[in-house]
Amino acid sequence: MRRLSLTTRLSLMFMLAVTGVLIVAGLSFNRLSQHHFESLDRQELLEKAHAVQSILGKLQSLDNFAALKPQLGALLGAHRDLKAIIKDSAGRVLFADPGPLDLPERFSVIASNVIWEWQDQQQVFRGLTQQVTGPAQEPPLTLMLVLDVTPHMDFFDALERWFAIGLIISALVSAGLGWVMARSGLRPLRQVTAVATAMSAKSLKERIPLAPVPLELQQLVSSFNAMLSRLDEDFVRLSNFSADIAHELRTPVSNLMTHTEVVLSRKRNIEDYEDNLHSNLDDLKRMSRMIDDMLFLAKADNGLITPEHKKIALEQVIDKLYEYYRLLADEHAIELKLIGSGEIQGDVLMLRRAISNLLSNALRYTPERHAITVNISQTRQSTRLTVENPGEAISPEHLEWLFDRFYRADPARREGSPSNAGLGLAITRSIVEAHQGKIWCTSSNGQTAFHMEFPRSAGSTAKQ
Q: What angle do CA 157, 163, 168 make, to 5 degrees?
A: 135
User: What are 339-373's pLDDT values in tens digits?
Assistant: 999 999 888 988 998 999 999 989 999 999 999 99
Q: Domain check: are 271 and 336 in the same one?
A: no
Query: Does residue 457 sit within a domain?
Result: yes
Q: Domain check: are 150 and 56 in the same one?
A: yes
What pLDDT does 375 receive? Answer: 95
Query: Does residue 45 sit within a domain?
Result: yes
What pLDDT does 409 receive? Answer: 58
What pLDDT does 410 receive? Answer: 53
Domain count along the chain: 3
Q: Domain check: are 143 and 29 in the same one?
A: yes
For residue 453, the one-letter residue type is: E
Q: Domain check: are 396 and 425 in the same one?
A: yes
Query: Does residue 415 sit within a domain?
Result: yes
Query: Does residue 197 sit within a domain?
Result: no
Q: Domain check: are 315 and 252 in the same one?
A: no
The residues near 416 (Cβ < 8 Å, ≥ 6 apart) are 248, 251, 408, 422
Query: Does residue 173 sit within a domain?
Result: no
**Domain harbouring 343, CATH code:** 3.30.565.10
User: What are 229-250's pLDDT values in tens digits?
Assistant: 888 877 777 776 677 667 667 7
Q: Domain check: are 92 and 225 in the same one?
A: no
Q: Domain check: are 345 and 447 in the same one?
A: yes
Q: Domain check: are 424 and 337 in the same one?
A: yes
Among 252, 284, 301, the domain boundary falls at 301
**Domain harbouring 70, CATH code:** 3.30.450.20
**Domain harbouring 229, CATH code:** 1.10.287.130
What pLDDT does 413 receive? Answer: 39
Among 301, 334, 368, the domain boundary falls at 301
What pLDDT does 462 receive? Answer: 41
Q: Domain check: are 344 and 452 in the same one?
A: yes
Q: Domain check: are 360 and 459 in the same one?
A: yes
Contact 97, 72 (CB under 8 A): yes
Query: Does residue 199 sit within a domain?
Result: no
Q: Three-class SS string for the chain?
A: CCCCCHHHHHHHHHHHHHHHHHHHHHHHHHHHHHHHHHHHHHHHHHHHHHHHHHHHCCCCCHHHHHHHHHHHHHHHCCCCCEEEEEECCCCCEEEEECCCCCCCHHHHHCCCCCEEEEEECCEEEEEEEEEECCCCCCCCEEEEEEEECHHHHHHHHHHHHHHHHHHHHHHHHHHHHHHHHHHHHCHHHHHHHHHHHCCCCCCCCCCCCCCCCCHHHHHHHHHHHHHHHHHHHHHHHHHHHHHHHHHHHHHHHHHHHHHHHHHHCCCCCHHHHHHHHHHHHHHHHHHHHHHHHHHHHHHHHCCCCCCCCEEEEHHHHHHHHHHHHHHHHHHCCCEEEEEECCEEEECHHHHHHHHHHHHHHHHHHCCCCCEEEEEEEECCCEEEEEEEEECCCCCHHHHCCCCCCCCCCCCCCCCCCCCCCCCHHHHHHHHHHHCCCEEEEEEECCEEEEEEEEECCHHHHHHC
Q: Domain check: are 287 and 379 in the same one?
A: no
Low-confidence ranges of the chain (pLDDT < 50): 411-418, 458-464
Contact 118, 107 (CB under 8 A): yes
* Domain containing residue 151: 6-164
What pLDDT does 421 receive? Answer: 56
* Stated pTM of the model: 0.50
Query: Does residue 177 sit within a domain?
Result: no
Contact 287, 443 (CB under 8 A): no
Q: Domain check: are 15 and 155 in the same one?
A: yes
Q: Which of 5, 6, 136, 113 is nearest to 49 (CA)?
A: 113
Query: Does residue 239 sit within a domain?
Result: yes
